[in-house]
Amino acid sequence: MKLEQIYTGCLAQGAYYVESKGEAIVIDPLREVQPYIDKANADNAKIKYVFETHFHADFVSGHIDLAKKTGATIVYGPTTAKTGFEMHVASDGEIFNVGDVKIKVIHTPGHTMESSCYMLIDENGEEKALFTGDTLFIGDVGRPDLAQHVISDLTEEKLAGHLFESLHFKIKPLSDDLIVYPAHGAGSACGKKMSKETWDTLGNQKNTNYALRDGLTKDAFIQEVLHGLMPPPGYFPKNVLMNIQGYDSIDTVMERGHKALSPREFELVANETHALILDTRSASTFAKGFIPNSINIGIDGSFAVWVGTLIPDIKQEILVVADPGREDEVITRLARVGYDFTIGYLDGGINAWLGANKEVDIIPNITAHEFAEIEAQNPEIHIIDVRKKSEYDSEHIVGAENAPLDFVNETMKLVNPAKTYYVHCAGGYRSMSFASILKSRGFDNLINVDGGFKEIKDSGKFNLTDYVCPSTLL
């Protein structure tokens, strides 16, 4: 038997591949499915099943493409959802044979109503691993407020109650020796305080995870699991619907997006369409020169999450500016969260644009020490902190206003276009996105503080509020 966790950092997502005696399964595959097919081919194995722990909200699964390309059967736990593809609706406790091993379905509603865990039983009949999806994370549990955005009468309180029962009556009685393999780790918006670890024993989770502690009542659990929850990213319900209804093949998406455009062609397409120009270079590089009206979301940060948060229309046509050689990576990672309408990229990147003598904009970018000198000379300057409210509440520059990037369409109302603002986040990634979005909307007086709050604090030159431990990481 072979078991492999395939972890993708930008989504903090874990997919799983299990092979035994020439038969294989994939659990919660990402949109691009060829790597799973390659693994099976290398093992001389046939992918028999694609198991989905639930209808995902934070990414578009590759279940449909993988089934079409391999002949595998798509399996979900108990659900009444009408899907746009063929699938097997498993019953609670149903067992699937894969070579010499077995997969047992454990229905665990709460994160969503169809949420299910999958138990791996080895060749000797021993229960070895539990693939928990978004039901149980390492150090946390799945947020119970997502399904209500698709089914309105499913309140977060109802879902939290179901989740408590699933955890305490379905999962907690299982063996301490089981290895827990969740669908996400730290960095995902599907929970509040997940660990950086991507697996653990169930026994250790019983001892350390607040949601599994002895003596916890249902009412107390509901209150605790809902405390501090911020609204989920706006793209979540749209991804759920794509996972239920179906989507274009990833091959179609890549073909549509992989169009190399000269600067003249790029400019022409931009003017003739309503395409958004998305510049995926690093914040510091972007600041030095970019195509007017483009926005910056760096490919080397939490790219997929911020794309889903900052681009409200999932069918938005997108033109890409990327570091040369990374264009396909950008198109793929956009597709992972359902942004399937990339219509081309700037061939040769920004250097080609500069070589064609095309117009560029800049955003002033200063160091924390330069910022300190400016603030010392004029303590009345306007400072904007675009970190999450919990980060801001934990510690911030005295006098700084909080305008979280997550809700930029609302928080930008705090900005007066006639005034100059110094903008920072934790490290510089989010603040450049904020500045670029406002720049594209006519706000020209924004100066980015490179290195963000970390460099600001390390400089020791600013008056900061007393540190308070944040109650949530959302």
Q: How far apart are CA 121 and CA 129, in angstroms?
A: 7
215 and 268 part of one domain: no
The residues, ordered by sequence, that sit 6+ positions from 254 with a Cβ below 8 Å of its Cβ are 328, 331, 332, 335
Chain segment 345-392, per-residue pLDDT in tens? 999 999 999 999 999 999 999 999 999 999 999 999 999 999 999 899
What DSSP character marks residue 98?
E
Q: Is the dihedral of CA 96, 101, 106, 107 positive or negative?
A: negative
Question: pLDDT tens digit string along 163-190?
Answer: 999 999 999 999 999 999 999 998 887 8
Looking at residue 472, its pLDDT comes to 47
Give the pLDDT mean for 104-113: 97
Q: Is residue 32 part of a domain?
A: yes
Which domain-ending residue is among 303, 321, 355?
Answer: 355
Q: Are residues 321 and 445 part of one domain?
A: no
471 within a domain of the structure (yes/no): no
Distance CA 141, CA 138 (A): 8
Instruction: Give the separation between CA 326 and CA 334, rounded to whole angstroms.
Output: 12
- Please compute Rg for the chain using Cα positions: 24
**Per-residue confidence (pLDDT) for residue 152, from 0 to 100:** 61
Q: What DSSP assignment string belongs to 194-220? A: --S-S-EEHHHHHHH-GGG-TT--HHH
Mean pLDDT to the nearest integer, 207-232: 93
3-state helix, strand, coil in the chain (%, to 5): 35, 20, 45
Answer yes or no: is pLDDT of 150 > 70.
Answer: no
Please give the Cα distance from 280 to 287 (Å, whole number). Answer: 12
Q: How confident is the model at residue 445 (pLDDT cuts 50, 70, 90)?
A: very high
Residues 32, 340 contacting (CB under 8 angstroms): no
Q: Give the integer Cα–Cα distance in Å for 396 and 388.
A: 11
Query: pLDDT exceeding 70 applies to what percent of the chain?
Result: 98
Coil, helix or strand at residue 433: helix
> Based on the domain organization, do 12 and 69 belong to the same domain?
yes
For residue 419, the one-letter residue type is K
Task: Say if residue 170 is in the same domain as residue 69.
Answer: yes
What does the DSSP assignment read for 346-373? ETTHHHHHHHTT---B---EE-HHHHHH
Pairing type for strands 318-321 and 276-279 reads parallel
HSE toward the beta carbon, residue 342, CA cutoff 13 A = 33
**Which of 355, 384, 401 delimits the end of a domain?**
355
Residue 471, pLDDT score: 55
Same domain, 142 and 287: no
Report yes or no on 437 lying in a domain. Answer: yes
Using N-to-C axis directions, what is the helix angle for 429-440 and 303-310, rounded to 10°?
30
Q: Which domain holds residue 29?
A: 2-238
**136 DSSP 8-state letter:** B
The rounded mean pLDDT for the chain is 95
Q: How confident is the model at residue 15 (pLDDT cuts 50, 70, 90)?
A: very high
Cβ contact 277:97 at 8 Å? no
Please enumerate in sequence order all residues whose Cβ is within 8 A of that of 218, keeping only pairs 6 or more positions apart, or say none: 161, 164, 165
The reply to whether 227 and 253 lie within a common domain is no
What pLDDT is recorded for position 151? 64
Same domain, 401 and 312: no
Residue 328 has pLDDT above 80, yes or no: yes
* Model pLDDT, residue 233: 83
- Amino acid occupying residue 441: R
| 118 touches 106 (CB < 8 A) | yes
Asked if residue 406 has pLDDT above 70, the reply is yes
Alpha-carbon distance 324 to 319, whole Å? 14
The pLDDT confidence band at residue 194, using thresholds 50, 70 and 90, is: confident
Residue 63's Cβ-count burial label (10 Å; 0-12, 13-18, 19+) is buried
Domain contains 447: yes
- Residues 442 and 357: beta-carbon distance below 8 Å: no
pLDDT band at 393 (very low <50, low <70, confident <90, very high): very high
DSSP 315-352: T--EEEE--TT-HHHHHHHHHHTT---EEEEETTHHHH
Check whether residue 207 and residue 287 sit in a common domain. no
Of 8-17, 33-42, 127-136, 238-247, which range is least confident?
8-17
pLDDT of 333 reads 96
Same-domain check for residues 231 and 262: no
Our count of domains for the chain comes to 3
In a domain, residue 243? The reply is no
H or E, element range at 4: strand 2-8
Q: For the domain that residue 172 is a member of, what is the CATH number?
A: 3.60.15.10
CATH of the domain at 326: 3.40.250.10
> In this structure, what token pair is assigned to residue 239?
């991804």
Q: What is the pLDDT of residue 186?
A: 85
